[in-house]
Amino acid sequence: MRKPTINDILAAKPEARPRIYAYSIEDDAHAGLLKVGQTTRDVKRRVAEQLKTAAIKNYRIEIDEPAEREDGSIFSDHEVRAALARKGFLNSELEWVHCKVSDVKTVLTELRTGKRFSGSHHQTFPMRREQAEAVDITYSYFMSRWSEDTQAVPRFLWNAKMRFGKTFTTYQLAKKLGAKRVLVATFKPAVADAWQTDLESHADFDGWQYLSKSSGGDPTQIPLSKPVVYFGSFQDLLGRDSAGNIKPKNEWIHQINWDLVVFDEYHFGAWRETAKELFEGEEEAVAKKEAKLEYNSGLGGVNEDLNILSNKETEFLPITTRAYLYLSGTPFKALATGEFIEEQIFNWTYTDEQRAKAEFAANHPDKWNPYGALPQMRLLTYKMPDELLAIASEGEFEEFDLNEFFSATGNGKDAVFKHKTYVQKWLDIIRGNYAPQSIESLKTRTRPPFPYSDVRLLPHLQHSFWFLPNVSACHAMANLFTEKHNVFWHDYKVIVSAGASAGIGLDALPPVRQAVGSGFDTKTITLSCGKLTTGVTVAQWSSILMLRNLKSPETYFQAAFRVQSPWSIKNPDGDAPNEEEVLKPICFVFDFAPTRALRQLSEYGIGLSPGAANPEDAVRELVSFLPVLAYDGANMTQIDAGGILDIAMAGTSGTLLARKWESALLVNVDNDTLRRVLDDPKAMAAVERIEGWRSLGDNVIETIINKSDKVKELKDKAKDRELSTKDKKQLSAEEKEYRTKRKLVQEKLIKFATRIPAFMYLTDFRENTLKDVITKLEPDLFLAVTGLTVADFDLLVGLRVFNTERMNEAVFAFRRYEDASLRYTGIESHEGLTHYGLYDTVVARE
């Protein structure tokens, strides 16, 4: 016998670990069948060897997972097939089983955990770090409120960007709370599928039951020990009668003591403006239908009740619950007005997502990145040649008016652009074929990256979305593409997703999906003026061309984020189920009104971080993951946060900036605020000294509160029985009166606020806050200009009649505008200045 060598004695331990695999073969003989086996070798190699003798190539490995239990013991493929047989899945022959991939995964999860699952609860992935953080923070807040007051009904907001995984994370919170009865009320019924799928596919929620109007079932008949989630649209749960009163149509809702009520996609009033702006280019009847599908019309009443009447949820939703969770991707109004305080908010924004993606890649280069398929956005803006600007510019700063430039008449084949010659030149520009520009490029020896000419950009424009002003413009663009001289565009399949003929809501999606197909061998352009800008995912869209004016950053980015959906292939070669190939690591937004685009970007960054000490920091953080390139007519350069703010502010006017002091968000006239004023004699005396206040009549605040209380009383009565004709008339009259008076109060307070910016011009002490200027340098002038003493104003600010956050933002915008405008003329206004004084805070200049 050979004496063992040292190498034999110190031989390495074998690395083999048993794995379960399953593969399918694409032919009629194996339809619906999976081969389930095991190996201690590389699965890819084992399966290839197994099928080599039969010369089979059309196979796909569906599963490749460890054959280990949680306690470390091992199970075999025989146990997997036996478990499948017990569930009724028949063995066809040898190791072949009639079942789906999800059925095998469910059995694998059962064997690992030692539990039996109803349905196909095969998913076992854990929460990501940010999801666990959201659950922990919310849970801790709820617990702290209940420890202070056992009867408290706490509210919490998740400001979470799409693809945060809100449904899965909400269920994890419910589970941690020990909730047995969860009500999900949504204002976007299209999200129902996600709520059901997540509950019925993950092992953590085995034993939970999902119910909805469509699924049927009575929650009151399910044992209290069994967790139930009831999903309902706002309209289903809170239908209103012709007088606007809530119908008691779902009696069981207030028979149940809910543990958690979730409001999904609740945008706190922004929904109306967003829906209106998104679909305003559509035909009127279509726009109404689209907006109704997108956001339930009944939300308007709820928003009024919550934000103006200062009512609690229980005042409009006939239920009892332990807590409320609000979910929204764009809660700008709630963040700006202090609807929720800092400890009631969890944020997960685009910036957070992209930072996590970069950090994971740096820290775990050899692991699958859970954020890897989420593309980074890039914004490219282009200043149009003077020839085009001349025919479609507006305002003091000659902003390129996209709506005017792309205005059109007619419909279908008869649609034509008003400025057709210039739109054709614009098409030549984005192709890099505009003659004057080509001459400039030769002179400068630079060729700017225009969308459809630069070889680096063209692959990202294989499938693009063009957002145009109206239906006529969409048809006119499609017609222009077909003209003989536009040979380049003939390679693209053009889908006009506009007008009634394109379908309403999700009905407009199939033609796009059919045209795009797999996305590899096709080239498409989708033309829309509102359709498909919300709630749909076309993974292959990699770029969007903004060809219409959009006023709000919420609307702008709601449309832009359509192209940020992930496009990747799991198991790309069919032989490695745990691999993922990312096909869209970046995506693009192209905009041809630079000032407007950068203003939207800066407002978006500031809007998501209203509490940031320096607004520039919020924008800087955003653009660190959303690079901005701007073409100024000669060069394409990258712009930093300061440059974005300078362009956004300099490309406006002092008049427009003054309008920030006319914003309704600057003042609070909800019932809670009005009651605080009413209960404070000094505050009442102060508001009565505001110019024009006495014209509102005696006891105007008291009248508003009393009238709104009367409205609330009548609405409560409507929950229990049909209102009489007299009561309906009274409700209508009372509601009209208090709303009118509240509007007048708001206008007087805003008019008062517009006098405050005058003090920005009265001092050269730029590092002092405006509050210091008023209180320490010009208190007598403040009294003369406003009619209030500094003490009066401080008292009203303390009672939250005025929002200092908004005042800080308005002063900051003015300071940036003033400096940028002076620098443009070669003047450095305050050399060596290191800080800006805002209203009541000081921020670093850079």
CA dist list (Å): 29 to 25, 26, 33, 215, 575: 9, 8, 9, 36, 20
Residue 205 confidence (pLDDT) above 50: yes
Rounded CA separation 794/779 (Å): 12
Rounded CA separation 126/137 (Å): 17
CA-based end-to-end distance of the chain: 80
Q: DSSP character for 11?
A: P
Instruction: Determine the average pLDDT of the residues in 618-632.
Output: 83
Phi, psi of 656 (to 5 degrees): -65, -40
| CB 123 within 8 Å of CB 201 | yes
Residue 141 confidence (pLDDT) above 90: yes
Query: Among 132-136, 387-391, 426-430, which stretch is predicted with the lowest mean pLDDT?
Result: 387-391
Residue 651 confidence (pLDDT) above 90: no
- pLDDT computed for residue 822 by the predictor: 42
Residue 545 confidence (pLDDT) above 90: yes
- Split at pLDDT 50, 70, 90, the class of 452 is very high
Q: DSSP character for 50?
A: H
Residue 814 has which token pair?
Answer: 């003015």
Residue 665 confidence (pLDDT) above 80: no
Instruction: Determine the average pLDDT of the residues in 108-113.
Output: 85
- Split at pLDDT 50, 70, 90, the class of 57 is confident
- pLDDT computed for residue 546 by the predictor: 94
- Split at pLDDT 50, 70, 90, the class of 49 is confident
Closest CA to 347 of 615, 133, 184, 187: 133
Q: Which long-range contacts (CB under 8 A, 24 or more apart) does 390-394 make?
A: 391/419, 391/422, 392/419, 392/422
**When comparing pLDDT for 754 and 412, which is higher?**
412
- Split at pLDDT 50, 70, 90, the class of 306 is low
- Split at pLDDT 50, 70, 90, the class of 250 is low
- pLDDT computed for residue 654 by the predictor: 47
Question: Residue type at 51?
Answer: L
Rounded CA separation 121/116 (Å): 9
- Count Cβ atoms below 10 Å from residue 384 Cβ, excluding itself: 22
Overall residue count recorded for the chain in this entry: 846
Residue 790 confidence (pLDDT) above 70: yes
Residue 283 confidence (pLDDT) above 80: no
Output Rg (C-alpha) for the chain, integer angstroms.
31
Residue 519 confidence (pLDDT) above 90: no
- pLDDT computed for residue 273 by the predictor: 59
Convert the pLDDT of each residue in 587-610 to its tens digit.
Answer: 999 999 888 888 888 888 877 776
Residue 540 confidence (pLDDT) above 90: yes
- pLDDT computed for residue 477 by the predictor: 97
Residue 676 Cα to chain centre, angstroms? 34
Question: Residue type at 8?
Answer: D
Share of the chain above pLDDT 70, in %: 73
Beta bridge partners of 313: none
Strand 19-25, strand 33-39: pairing: antiparallel
Closest CA to 207 of 194, 223, 218: 223
Instruction: Determine the average pLDDT of the residues in 740-755.
Output: 81
CA dist list (Å): 591 to 216, 378, 468, 544, 579: 47, 11, 12, 9, 36
Sign of CA dihedral 545, 548, 553, 557: negative
Q: Which residues of 773-800 are buried (b: 16+ CB within 10 A; e: fewer)?
A: bbeeebeeebeeebbbebebbebbbebb
- pLDDT computed for residue 394 by the predictor: 59
- pLDDT computed for residue 778 by the predictor: 63
Instruction: Determine the average pLDDT of the residues in 629-643.
Output: 76
Residue 684 has which token pair?
Answer: 């009442």
Residue 538 confidence (pLDDT) above 60: yes
Closest CA to 414 of 494, 469, 467, 472: 472
- pLDDT computed for residue 73 by the predictor: 74
Convert the pLDDT of each residue in 73-101 to its tens digit.
Answer: 788 888 899 889 888 888 767 789 999 99
Question: Residue type at 336?
Answer: A
pTM for the model? 0.73
520 CB-contact burial (10 Å; exposed 0-12 / middle 13-18 / buried 19+): exposed
- Split at pLDDT 50, 70, 90, the class of 832 is very low
- pLDDT computed for residue 269 by the predictor: 47
Local structure of 4: helix, strand or coil: coil
Query: Among 189-193, 371-375, 563-567, 692-696, which stretch is predicted with the lowest mean pLDDT?
Result: 189-193
| CB 547 within 8 Å of CB 593 | no
Query: At which residue do the structure tokens 């409009």 appear?
Result: 316
CB half-sphere exposure, 359, CA atoms < 13 A: 7
Residue 558 confidence (pLDDT) above 60: yes
Closest CA to 476 of 461, 462, 501, 496: 496
CA-CA-CA-CA dihedral for 239, 242, 243, 244, to nearest 10: 30
CA dist list (Å): 627 to 334, 379, 767, 777: 28, 6, 31, 42
- Split at pLDDT 50, 70, 90, the class of 843 is very low
Residue 104 has which token pair?
Answer: 């095998």
| CB 661 within 8 Å of CB 411 | no
- Split at pLDDT 50, 70, 90, the class of 239 is low
- pLDDT computed for residue 764 by the predictor: 46
Query: Among 219-228, 306-315, 493-502, 656-665, which stretch is predicted with the lowest mean pLDDT?
Result: 306-315
Residue 571 confidence (pLDDT) above 80: no
Q: What share of the chain is helix, strand, coil (3-state, %, to 5)?
A: 50, 15, 35
Instruction: Determine the average pLDDT of the residues in 105-123.
Output: 78
Residue 554 has which token pair?
Answer: 């919420």
- pLDDT computed for residue 830 by the predictor: 42
According to the per-residue pLDDT averaged within each range, which of 129-143, 329-343, 582-596, 706-720 is highest? 129-143
Residue 357 Cα to chain centre, angstroms? 18
Rounded CA separation 13/6 (Å): 15
Instruction: Determine the average pLDDT of the residues in 282-305.
Output: 64
2 CB-contact burial (10 Å; exposed 0-12 / middle 13-18 / buried 19+): exposed
Rounded to the nearest 10 degrees, the angle between the axes of helix 725-753 and helix 700-720 is 140
Q: What is the mean pLDDT of the chain?
A: 79
- pLDDT computed for residue 238 by the predictor: 62
According to the per-residue pLDDT averaged within each range, which of 15-24, 399-408, 601-610, 614-623 is highest? 399-408
Convert the pLDDT of each residue in 751-781 to its tens digit.
Answer: 877 777 666 555 444 444 556 555 555 677 7
- Split at pLDDT 50, 70, 90, the class of 24 is very high
Question: Residue type at 837?
Answer: G
| CB 742 within 8 Å of CB 669 | yes
Q: Apex CA 533: angle with CA 185 and CA 518, to 5°?
A: 110
Query: Among 123-127, 398-402, 565-569, 777-781, which stretch is predicted with the lowest mean pLDDT?
Result: 777-781
Local structure of 252: helix, strand or coil: helix
Residue 661 confidence (pLDDT) above 60: yes
3-state secondary structure 157-175: EEEECCCCCHHHHHHHHHH
Closest CA to 619 of 345, 318, 846: 846
Instruction: Determine the average pLDDT of the residues in 401-425.
Output: 93
Question: Residue type at 594?
Answer: P
- pLDDT computed for residue 76 by the predictor: 86
Residue 154 Cα to chain centre, angstroms? 24
Residue 787 has which token pair?
Answer: 């009619």
Instruction: Determine the average pLDDT of the residues in 670-686.
Output: 86
Residue 490 confidence (pLDDT) above 90: yes
